[in-house]
Structure 1
Amino acid sequence: MSGAMLKDRVVLVTGAGGGLGSAVSKACATEGATVILLGKTIPKLEKAYDAIVAAGGPQPAIYPLDLAGATEDDYRDLAATIEREFGALHGLVHCAAELGALGPVNDISGGLWQRLLHVNLSAPFLLTRELLPLIQKSAGSAIVFVTDSVARSGKAYWGAYGVAKIGLEGFGKILADELENYKVGVHVYSPGPMQSPLRRRAYPGENPESLPSPDIHAEQIARMLSPNETCSHAHLNSNV
């Protein structure tokens, strides 16, 4: 990458303390973006923050928020804070995800079902809805939804997480159609198997060293946020 592709641009990454979220945040900062690190675990966000600063990237911002318990007012406050502190938002990357417990549908409690649908589907919707007016004001802005191969395979035992990813992919396509006349890129990205905490939970017997690093996917996502990549239709990018 050039090292200046996202210069002077502001990007919000959810799940910024996780495997892919942290890698995306670093990749965007490497390309010159000011990154807003959103997540629920402050030490992990601080680790990503320190890595960006140590690498000489623009000073990022930490915004602690637990998507499982966030309300609509919380998202409105976030949008107001970004507008007040940064004046613009050029990119939004939805990396946050919660797997839950894999198992048959009849073993899923109603509470777990609702939680996983909220974190993996409703929260991205609410966050996008509140930030969209600000995103639309920025030329060449983009939104990236990170999905999963189970969204298309309907794989057994993936329960609420799988259903939520199917819904997230559909939401991305609907949003892209609604934004057809705006210069807002909408991407639905499925990275496929990679080294990540979520992958280790889903496949505990797998050797993580046999999988690609999330850095590869982070660079691809950073390119999607470039103003040169702006599009009016959802692109399903898959490495599965």
Structure 2
Amino acid sequence: MSGSMLKDRVILVTGAGGGLGSAVAKICAAEGATVVLLGKTIPRLEKVYDAIIAASGPQPAIYPLDLAGAGEDHYRDLAATIEREFGALHGLVHCAAELGVLGPLNDIAGGVWQRLLHVNLTAPFLLTRELLPLISKSSAPGIVFVTDSVARAGKAYWGAYGVAKSGLEGFARILADELESRKVQVHVYAPGPMQSPLRRRAYPAEDPAGLPLPEVQAEQIARLLSPIETASSANFG
């Protein structure tokens, strides 16, 4: 990577304190982007912030927000803050996810079902909707939805998480079709197996040493956000 692929661009990363989210944030900053770190755990966001500063990246911004409890007003406030502070938003990466407990559908409590659909599907919709006017005004903008290749296959026991990821892909496809004339590129990216907290929860007996680090996938996501890539067709890989 060039080290300047995302120079002067503003990128919002959700789940920025997590495995993939933190890697995406650091890579984007290393490529010159000003990164807005969104997540629910402030110490984790501060750790990513410190790593970006230590690597001489552009000063990021921390925006604490728990997607499980956030409502429409919270997303409107976020959009207004980004526009006021930065004047533009060139990229949005939806890395935040909540797995829940894998098991049969008939064992899922209603409250758990609603929470997982909210965090993994409704929250990305609301966030995207509120940020879309600002994104649409920016040059060569891109939106990346991180999906899951296992959950999207309709595999048993993946429950509300799997349903939400399937819905997220459907939402992204509709959004891409609607935004074609506005030149906002929408990407759905399935990173596959990698070392991450979510992967460890899903496969507790697996040896993570044989899996690639999230940085490998983070580089691919950063490329999707570059002005060159966002000028191409939408990607649903």
TM-score, normalized by length of structure 2? 0.98
Q: Does 1:80 align with 2:112?
A: no
Equivalent pair of 1:180/1:233 in contact (CA under 8 Å): no
The residue type paired with residue 181 of structure 2 is N
CA positional deviation for 1:236: 1.6
Q: Secondary structure of 1:62's partner?
A: strand
- Cα 1:103–1:54 change in 2 (3 A) is same
The residue type paired with residue 183 of structure 1 is K
CA positional deviation for 1:132: 0.2
Equivalent pair of 1:12/1:37 in contact (CA under 8 Å): yes
Equivalent pair of 1:180/1:232 in contact (CA under 8 Å): no
Report sequence identity in percent. Answer: 81
Partners of 2:147 and 2:231 in 1: how far apart? 19
The residue that corresponds to 1:218 in the other structure is 218
Equivalent pair of 1:117/1:161 in contact (CA under 8 Å): yes
The residue that corresponds to 1:130 in the other structure is 130
Deviations 1:55-103, CA, capped at 9 Å, x for gaps: 0100000000000000100000000000000000000000000000000
CA positional deviation for 1:235: 1.1
Q: Quote the RMSD (CA, aligned, Å).
A: 0.9
The residue that corresponds to 2:181 in the other structure is 181
CA positional deviation for 1:231: 4.5
CA positional deviation for 1:232: 6.9
The residue that corresponds to 1:191 in the other structure is 191
Partners of 1:55 and 1:139 in 2: how far apart? 26
The residue that corresponds to 2:48 in the other structure is 48
Equivalent pair of 1:13/1:25 in contact (CA under 8 Å): yes
Structure 2 portions without partners, runs of 5+: none
Q: Does 1:163 align with 2:200?
A: no
Structure 1 portions without partners, runs of 5+: none
- Once the two structures are superposed, the pairs formed by residues 4-153 of structure 1 within 5 Å of their partners are 4-153=4-153
Q: Secondary structure of 1:144's partner?
A: strand
* Worse-superposed segment, 189-198 or 143-152: 143-152
The residue type paired with residue 90 of structure 1 is H
Q: Secondary structure of 1:236's partner?
A: coil
The residue type paired with residue 193 of structure 1 is P
Partners of 1:209 and 1:170 in 2: how far apart? 33
CA positional deviation for 1:150: 2.8
Partners of 1:30 and 1:131 in 2: how far apart? 24
The residue type paired with residue 97 of structure 1 is A
Equivalent pair of 1:150/1:165 in contact (CA under 8 Å): no
Partners of 1:130 and 1:200 in 2: how far apart? 33
Partners of 2:20 and 2:216 in 1: how far apart? 10
Q: Does 1:3 align with 2:8?
A: no
Deviations 1:177-220, CA, capped at 9 Å, x for gaps: 00111121110000000000000000000011110000000000
Equivalent pair of 2:76/2:130 in contact (CA under 8 Å): yes
* Worse-superposed segment, 146-155 or 57-66: 146-155
Equivalent pair of 2:151/2:158 in contact (CA under 8 Å): no
Equivalent pair of 1:186/1:231 in contact (CA under 8 Å): no
Equivalent pair of 1:83/1:134 in contact (CA under 8 Å): yes
Partners of 2:149 and 2:184 in 1: how far apart? 25
Deviations 1:94-127, CA, capped at 9 Å, x for gaps: 0000000000001000000000000000000000
The number of residue pairs the alignment matches comes to 237
Q: Does 1:203 align with 2:196?
A: no
